[in-house]
Chain A
């Protein structure tokens, strides 16, 4: 244990040194900037501004923001539109208000007028509402005919998590984030947009700055916004991988005449939410004996042993060990720290954004080698206007992650914790007991089980170490041409991205000697203790590299665009070419897509908008002549609020009806080279004496050719309405979508006999329809100094497999997968327990395994008097029908509060891990106490205990179906922001905050986490974070 502390302290020291260095550099650099500023400022004079902001009719504009000095100093106009401040005489002032075109004044050239007039701007057409597209074009939210949601990067910063993707849950309509169990910092969730699209991979595509990249490489501070592309017109421009929806991430770029330098430091802790509970040695042994008796076997543990466990000396009791593995090896909480430097700014020619971050945490393992994770993120984005017609965008970014842990990673450790029984082995055996002299290096003699050669204590405390490095670098370079000189409105662009990903793992792990301790009656009938060496000591001689992976990607884009207005007509169009190649070491084929796109948007009088987008999608997964798929889409929108017949009151500020339809190709579910028949080497077979003779090779069929395979395609309809109401306070959008995925590739086994063997080819046989509704509503208002936002979003979706191969007779239609959702969960219908709920005699024969009183009785659905696989029907579904989020933001003067809740309804899970299923020689959890036994526990609801694998009971049935609906308070932030607008202030803004994640969950599942039933069983449990921090904006 001493070792642990030492190394932990050492590691903490390194962290501390790193943070110290980072901060000193920041402080030095900022104070240098400060002194520079002061020198400059000392020559400056100041002017007093005292103006009023009005609209075109001369009415005062309330709550307009006045941004000065390139920085984050922002003030607002009062109810009369007035403001007053003192600024350097050469300052640049930006005045903006929602619904108006922003105004910029350079005081050195022009004096700020007493009345600043802001021009009304069409709602949702300002810079803030411009959406990026894959082909390089942009469209405003106003002119959008499809469905695109947006999440702002700054809204993600309040969520302290090592994986930024986790913070997206509950953030936007249509987005479904499904948590995954994994190790520290590896728990990347699965991301879905608009439900389940197909019976294959339904996950959304994630793109960062124009190419597919992992989102978890980013810090929230690096993200400007994430656009969720949900309908056909939006997705089509992304090529053949986009049909399941796209999360398009744009990283932060510098802004004209706004400068900010922000340093944030955050520290806190991660706490375990829920861990499974297991029984101690005495309770386990007693119940195991009950299980033996149930099976008609003799009890295994003698009374002497039971008494021994009762009075156990603990983990190293030689004959009667009693270990609480979780208590021994898991810490209730760990630390989390993060520091980020953000700099961005720019002028009319050069804009920059630089983000550097450090995130560090340690694991919950209680081990000699502490589990540590240190991550460094760097990003620099640059925009340069080279000439009037040429501008350049460039960006580089990288992430370096250094991890280290002991001999066991999270998955190995938790699997061991949940399977090593409390009485499996003593941690250590004294030299006197075993009769082997003590090791001179102080290594104890370790215990082991006869079925469990390794000793957790030995592995955790004397097990060596593992280290892992992950590094990536991503670079983007683009050129944009304004070709107004050729034709007004003509543009062209070229963009290239190049990424490298590198990962390796190395370890230095010794094998410690372990000894099994067992007792038996020897030939003379006397109790003998037998020590058997289970593992031999093997030193870790050198570091071995156990895993190394590299991958890279290349993306190219070229486009020519044209945009112009002719009176009340506006057109915007773009022709593009997009090429992407992803290479991963060790995979047989690279992912290569090449897509030609054409985009055309026409707007008549700001009222009627029509858009045609189409793509000629190219993929290397199809045969020559079939490598391209033409995807046409069309959309239209009608801005009703611009119609004269609608009263121009403040109640309806904006109202748009929109619809889009298109057919998209999808290639991600298609294997490579399906069009060509192929054979492969499949080892050898050995002949001759002792197999030392002739060794001919074995040739196996890989696939039969399917030369006429068509693309999987998706025909999608979206109908939506969006609007802004009640004086811009209420914003809402509602979409209905209907998607028909057809030509899904598979083998139509219902049409062919098994005589075919492996000589099978695939056809376009499947189709899935998916439909749903999604929407959000957000209300924001300001009452004096008090402002608040209350929002909610949801998606309801349900899909249906309409064609697939299915060999089910009509009388058993209940077990057909056709007409059912693709996430359907099929199982038996439990009628309760034999002997308790159902009489054993006369019940139809159950074929899964032996059964008796106390075992599960199942319903004979097809009435054939036999219970088998044909009696399984639809019981539930594993993907939520509804996912929703609710958020509340409160601000009063400097005080702020943010609360986010997220939930899912209409979802089931199988209670099928070893916490629920206590059987054979497995570890028993507390659920074993609820087993049925006619005498010992007649009210128990779980089946009787058994030392067999319990094949009759432990299979999918209503008994093990859980309702996994939940609502979770996902994130809370409290903050106080001190703003000092005086020019001499050290920092313009100081924000002090406290944050929390995963605070509590409401669900019918009380003992384990409803989202992560395997958390704490096969890997890390869900963690709750509490952090506090401060950020300085200079």
Chain B
């Protein structure tokens, strides 16, 4: 009997012992809040998200350049977002170029870092409080720069106009928002465009005050090991860009600029419009006149690819990669690439001849029989054309029927007759299936040169081509002449002088200069929109045939760009609009 009682007691013990103890979780490699805001590596790590989210490759629009959504280029990846955008696929419900949630996500990281990562709880150097404050001020500067960067990324896409004609910006993420706070929608109205700009500029000013000019020397905290972080120059260049956009016709209230149709607008309030450009030009001039800012330098192919380990000084904010991923996407199929982004005939025609004239000017010396000879230096930097040797030691590009780079050879061959040269390596055997190699690439995100073109545009609008603004170092003419000479190899100023006679002609020249200087740097889509240029130019390619042993080049229309007037502004995300009644959509998308 005794044993039975013991068993009984034992069973009862099992039955009613150990309540929650057995229901434990295993240790994880996760950290709690208190760790993150105490340990400097982890605190800084929160901010680093905002760097990581900036794409490493320039062809980051679904393995394509954003130029494919413009008349500069086409893509062979028909499922890509740029292709969808180009054929009119932008809707509020699905915006292939939308960056709303990604950008706000980064802003949350930045804001929580600003609030919690710079307090006395986190010591970036425990032994030396001076070093700690140096690091903190650098991090604070970086955070403000990144907050400006991501706000401007949003502003580039979503900035626009309401139906009442007011230029609108975006809801500003001035602080870290909790889940409850993001549910209070009246706090998320769109700020006016100017208010958005002011907020971004104030962030950039803060950043410029805190950041070093550049990361040089061997200093542990501010030396070369930190290249790639935001610096004062980067903030300055971004500032110029923000002012340029802010003065552009697309972002003026209706009583200043009236949009009449595709590529057509009227300035209603010349004074106010002028004032904006003057402000922009003066701000840009201050930047140009900063110590160590230097002069315009031409970009070479070797700055971008097959480069050295030394970041070109032009690239004040850049990303770096040493792979062949970009070549995989854009090499011709004969060299095992996918020929994803292919330049258009429209772009080819934008390059003038070395004598400084456009191709269609009778004085240019351009001939239909040799359409690619003697063009602006930047042509070869950008484009592989029929007959040009591919890479350092490849065969001549042959797009004639049945040729090695023709659509009869491979289904993915270029249909425009051109292949991309900018950013792609000259190592033509790079993708050899049994022996692949890498190449050093830079993705310039902010270039000093940009400020010169920004200034030229603003100065021309403010004071005309040849007038130097008050206190300004250059006139628009000075700068364009310099750029054409350095980048294009154009010494003759005949055509330039002709164009400099009127502001309107010179504007067109500057716009074209910007187009060929910044090809495939993902500028044109935004430039077309902000300048209210026609978005819907048909895109052409070239067909090469032989008649009587002489190659004949025939233009062929390949694609229409199905943009409408409303595409000057992007629709805000549909789901956000439904949730938030305080959110006003852009014109044309109500």
Contact = CB atoms under 8 A, between A and B. Distances in A.
Contacts, number: 287
Interface in B574-590: 574-576, 578-580
27 contacts: A486-B8, A520-B398, A520-B402, A521-B401, A522-B404, A523-B396, A558-B11, A558-B14, A560-B8, A577-B16, A588-B26, A680-B30, A680-B31, A682-B45, A685-B52, A687-B226, A690-B320, A691-B320, A699-B49, A754-B576, A756-B104, A758-B105, A758-B108, A809-B578, A848-B89, A868-B93, A869-B93
Nearest to A594: B22
Contacts of A673: 25, 28, 30
Contacts of B83: 849
Interface of A: 296-298, 300, 302, 389, 450, 453, 481, 483, 485-486, 492, 494, 516, 518, 520-523, 527, 532-536, 556, 558-560, 575-577, 579, 588-590, 592-594, 596, 618-620, 624, 627-628, 672-673, 676-694, 696-700, 702, 704, 749-761, 807-809, 845, 847-850, 866, 868-870, 920-921, 947-949, 951
Contacts of A481: 4, 7
B173 interface: yes
Contact of A704 (B41, B42, B179, B558): B179
B4 A486 contact: yes
Contacts of B1: 485
Interface centre among A556, A689, A866 (most CB of B within 10 A): A689
Nearest to B580: A753
A57 B79 CA distance: 83
B542 to A, nearest CB: 14
Contacts of B104: 754-757
Given A590-B26, A687-B229, A807-B578, A868 B7 contact: no
Contact of B4 (A302, A485, A593, A751): A485
A627 B333 CA distance: 60
A697 B93 contact: no
A755 B48 CA distance: 18
Interface in B78-124: 78-79, 83-84, 87-91, 93-94, 100-101, 104-109, 112
A947 B77 CA distance: 11
B217 interface: no
Given A450-B336, A755-B177, A298 B401 contact: yes
Contact of B30 (A535, A559, A678): A678
Given A560-B15, A951-B84, A687 B227 contact: yes
A392 to B, nearest CB: 13
Given A492-B7, A558-B11, A870-B93, A624 B46 contact: no
Interface in B374-410: 395-396, 398, 400-404, 406-410
Interface string B312-325: 00000000101000
Nearest to A756: B182
Interface in B290-314: 309-311
A1017 to B, nearest CB: 21
B23 to A, nearest CB: 4
B433 A534 contact: yes
B260 interface: no
A693 B224 contact: yes
A-B pairs, top 9 by smallest CB distance, nearest first, are A699-B45, A693-B225, A757-B108, A757-B105, A948-B78, A678-B30, A521-B402, A687-B228, A620-B23
B499 to A, nearest CB: 37
A624 B20 contact: yes
A690 B229 contact: no
A694 B333 contact: no
B434 A686 contact: no
A618 B408 contact: no
Contacts of A689: 224, 227, 309-311
B408 A298 contact: yes
Interface of B: 1, 4, 7-8, 11-12, 14-16, 18-20, 22-26, 28-33, 35-36, 41-46, 48-49, 51-52, 78-79, 83-84, 87-91, 93-94, 100-101, 104-109, 112, 171, 173, 176-179, 182-183, 185, 188, 224-229, 309-311, 320, 322, 333-334, 336, 395-396, 398, 400-404, 406-411, 415, 433-434, 440, 558, 573-576, 578-580
Contact of B45 (A485, A533, A697, A807): A697
B8 A533 contact: no
Contact of A949 (B79, B91, B171, B228): B79
Nearest to B18: A594
Given A620-B24, A696-B44, A698-B49, A951 B179 contact: no
A619 B22 CA distance: 9
Nearest to B27: A588
Nearest to A481: B7
Contacts of A593: 23
Contacts of A809: 578
A483 B91 contact: no
B151 to A, nearest CB: 12
B224 A849 contact: no
A758 B108 CA distance: 8
A755 B104 CA distance: 5
A702 B49 CA distance: 13
Contacts of A951: 78-79, 84
Contacts of A755: 104, 107-108, 171, 173, 177, 182, 188
Nearest to A759: B108
A194 B52 CA distance: 47
A688 B108 contact: no
Contact of A523 (B19, B33, B311, B395): B395
A807 B83 CA distance: 28
Contact of A694 (B30, B177, B225, B310): B225
Contacts of A692: 309
Contacts of A681: 29, 45
Nearest to A625: B20
A687 B225 contact: yes
B25 A483 contact: no
B261 to A, nearest CB: 18
Contacts of B42: 679, 697, 699
A579 B411 CA distance: 61
B2 to A, nearest CB: 12
Contacts of A592: 22-24
Contacts of B408: 298, 300, 302, 520
A700 B26 contact: no
Contacts of A297: 407, 415
Contacts of A920: 78
B333 A589 contact: no
B176 to A, nearest CB: 8
Contacts of B91: 847, 866, 868-869
A407 to B, nearest CB: 19
Nearest to A698: B48
A389 B182 CA distance: 66
Contacts of A849: 78-79, 83-84, 87, 89
A521 B433 CA distance: 22
Nearest to A702: B30
A678 B225 contact: no
Contacts of A691: 228, 320, 322
Given A753-B185, A757-B109, 19 more contacts: A297-B407, A298-B407, A302-B402, A483-B4, A486-B4, A492-B8, A520-B408, A521-B404, A560-B8, A589-B25, A620-B24, A673-B28, A679-B30, A697-B48, A704-B179, A751-B183, A754-B575, A847-B88, A948-B79
B321 to A, nearest CB: 8
A107 B580 CA distance: 88
